[in-house]
């Protein structure tokens, strides 16, 4: 696999390490890190810097009750750690447990395109998108942030070409028409925190049905 050319922006990486990213975006970032040597190194650097900051902090006084509670916890047997997730097919380890064992629950959204919603909540949604080779996604802009990671194939838009492992960050200022590469269907992992803004009438009418 060619090394990814489109990476996680620095502020987003810092927010991920600090635990401040909403769940859908955190999953995309974790999945990209597992696929990208460059961002894995940046992630480790952020962790090291965070540890150095913690070590530089002055000691804070702890009450006797809190100290006793902490020592009591140390005396308890450690819970058995769950097995680390393993990659499965095109789905890297951070994503594999979210995809059913027999594959995504695809739902048609028209013109051969399909989606599988993996997670949905107050923080946004996380979904898999399947776009047939050579087909375009309807032109749209954004009401918030959209983070898209390519798992198979590729797509191109006004921002360039995105292959396996590449991540595209799109916000309210971006309007684009992603076009899947002609060699194979494109499967992406996409996180959003607000509905998209479609230009065409039909996509806008179908939007509530497909929860895009």
Residue 157 and residue 140 in contact, taking contact as beta carbons nearer than 8 Å: no
Predicted local distance difference test score (pLDDT) of residue 188: 97
pLDDT bucket at 210, cuts 50 / 70 / 90: low
Mean pLDDT to the nearest integer, 111-140 = 93
Structure tokens at 69: 């509670």
For helices 23-35 and 37-56, the axis angle rounded to 10 degrees is 120
User: Tokens 């909540």 label which residue?
Assistant: 121
Indicate the CATH number of 1-212 among 2.102.10.10, 3.40.50.150, 2.60.120.10, 3.30.365.10: 2.60.120.10
Q: What is the tens place of the pLDDT at every residue in 36-75?
A: 999 999 999 988 876 555 555 566 676 777 767 766 766 6
Mean pLDDT to the nearest integer, 85-97 = 89
Predicted local distance difference test score (pLDDT) of residue 59: 66
Q: Which residue has the higher pLDDT, 26 or 141?
A: 26
pLDDT-above-70 percentage for the chain: 80
Q: What is the mean pLDDT of the chain?
A: 86
Predicted local distance difference test score (pLDDT) of residue 87: 85
Predicted local distance difference test score (pLDDT) of residue 178: 94
User: Does residue 169 have a pLDDT over 70?
Assistant: yes
What pTM, to 2 d.p., does this model score?
0.82
Predicted local distance difference test score (pLDDT) of residue 201: 65
Rounded-to-integer distance, Cα 89 and Cα 99, Å:
11
Q: What is the tens place of the pLDDT at every residue in 101-110?
A: 889 999 988 8
The beta strand positions in 33-171, using DSSP E, are 107-110, 113-121, 124-131, 140-142, 146-152, 155-157, 160-162, 167-170
Q: Smallest Cα–Cα separation from 36: which of 171, 146, 150?
A: 150
Structure tokens at 122: 């107050």
Q: What is the tens place of the pLDDT at every residue in 12-35?
A: 999 999 999 999 999 999 999 999
């Amino acid at each position: 696999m060619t090394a990814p050319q489109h990476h996680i922006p620095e502020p987003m990486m810092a927010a991920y390490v600090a635990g401040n990213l909403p769940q859908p975006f955190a999953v995309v970032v974790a999945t990209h890190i597992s696929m990208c040597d460059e961002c894995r190194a940046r992630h480790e650097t952020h962790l090291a810097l965070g540890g150095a900051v913690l070590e530089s902090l002055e000691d804070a006084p702890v009450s006797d009750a809190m100290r006793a509670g902490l020592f009591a916890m140390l005396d308890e047997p450690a819970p058995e750690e769950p097995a680390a997730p393993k990659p499965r097919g095109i789905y890297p380890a951070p994503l594999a447990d979210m995809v059913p064992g027999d594959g995504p629950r695809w739902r048609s959204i028209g013109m051969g395109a399909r989606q599988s919603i993996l997670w949905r909540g107050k923080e946004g949604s996380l979904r898999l998108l399947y776009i047939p080779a050579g087909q375009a996604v309807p032109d749209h802009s954004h009401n918030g942030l959209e983070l898209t990671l390519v798992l198979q194939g590729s797509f191109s838009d006004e921002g360039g070409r995105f292959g396996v492992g590449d991540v595209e960050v799109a916000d309210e200022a971006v309007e684009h028409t992603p076009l899947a590469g002609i060699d194979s269907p494109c499967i992406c992992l996409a996180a959003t925190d607000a509905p998209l803004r479609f230009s065409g009438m039909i996509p806008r009418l179908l939007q509530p049905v497909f929860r895009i």
